[in-house]
């Protein structure tokens, strides 16, 4: 009989819906070797999500799932998460930073920036920093930032980029900052063996822009959140490591990477390799 000591402990933030939820399901179905922590802003939302997962998938679930309250904008829940992990598992193997928002209600530009960066950038930075000591106790520690190619300066500057007219300056800015965080952590964590990936899930059906946005995505042909979830399982299992190391950038769900920055060379925009 396996115990928590034998399992890979994985925490996923924003896991009560969308990509995070589907990743929890995909990981649990793929192997009994994980203990999955379903992070959400409130324990009630997490428990409701778990109940639905169990009702829908039942015996197909191989790995245990535990709901945990972790609001990346709340230092108290971040500290509580660290305390829980220390006392229950004494380590963390993999952290998937999936929580993110697009502000779609009317507000000032300044308020939009503050809300967006608080969840998409400041929170992930603080959460990762807080949990590094627990990640360092793992034999194969990973941090995966669920980002977006909308944060790529290279693609935003490319006149041929098909999504160049998509609005959302504040969101784009936050994902560019998150990509920089991933690049910095990727460099900084080398000394203790931490692997860091910035992951681009593509355009898929989520609750990121509310119910109206969800309907718009469905009608517009957006992909199911199950697609990036399957790709994240591959990242967790190390199947994309070679690709991620040889081609620096935002790992794309269908293979290859999207450039995460840009540099002018002879008048042309090219990806920066770091």
Q: Which residues are catalytic?
A: 171, 175
Residue 154 neighbours by CB under 8 Å, 6+ apart? 259, 260, 261, 262, 269, 270, 271
Q: What is the largest CA-CA distance in the chain?
A: 62
Which residue has tokens 């119910």? 211
DSSP 132-151: HHHHTTSSS-EEEEE--GGG
Of 138, 155, 186, which Cα lies nearest the Cα of 5? Answer: 138
Burial grade of 122 (CB within 10 A; 0-12, 13-18, 19 or more) = middle
């Amino acid at each position: 009989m396996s115990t928590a000591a034998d399992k890979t402990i994985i925490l996923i933030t924003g896991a009560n819906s969308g990509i995070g939820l589907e990743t929890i399901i995909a990981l649990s179905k793929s192997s009994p070797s994980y203990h999955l922590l379903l992070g959400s802003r409130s324990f009630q939302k997490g428990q409701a999500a778990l109940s639905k997962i169990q009702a829908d998938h039942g015996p197909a679930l191989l790995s245990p799932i535990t709901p945990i309250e972790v609001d990346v904008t709340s230092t108290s829940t971040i500290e509580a998460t660290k305390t829980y992990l220390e006392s229950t598992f004494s380590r963390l193997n993999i952290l998937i930073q999936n929580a993110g928002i697009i502000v779609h209600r009317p507000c000032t530009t300044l308020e939009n920036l503050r809300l967006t960066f608080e969840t998409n950038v400041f929170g992930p930075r603080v959460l990762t920093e807080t949990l590094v000591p627990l990640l360092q106790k793992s034999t194969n520690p990973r941090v995966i930032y669920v980002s977006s190619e909308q944060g790529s300066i290279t693609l935003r500057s490319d006149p041929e980029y098909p999504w160049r007219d998509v609005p959302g300056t504040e969101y784009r800015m936050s994902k560019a900052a998150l990509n920089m965080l991933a690049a910095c952590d990727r460099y900084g964590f080398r000394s203790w063996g931490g692997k860091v990936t910035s992951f681009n899930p593509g355009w898929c059906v989520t609750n990121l822009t509310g119910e109206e946005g969800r309907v718009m995505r469905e009608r517009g042909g957006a992909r199911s959140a199950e697609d990036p979830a399957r790709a994240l399982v591959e990242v967790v299992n190390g199947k994309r490591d070679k690709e991620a190391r040889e081609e620096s950038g935002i790992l794309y769900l269908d293979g290859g990477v999207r450039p995460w920055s840009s540099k002018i060379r002879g008048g042309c925009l090219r990806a920066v390799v770091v």
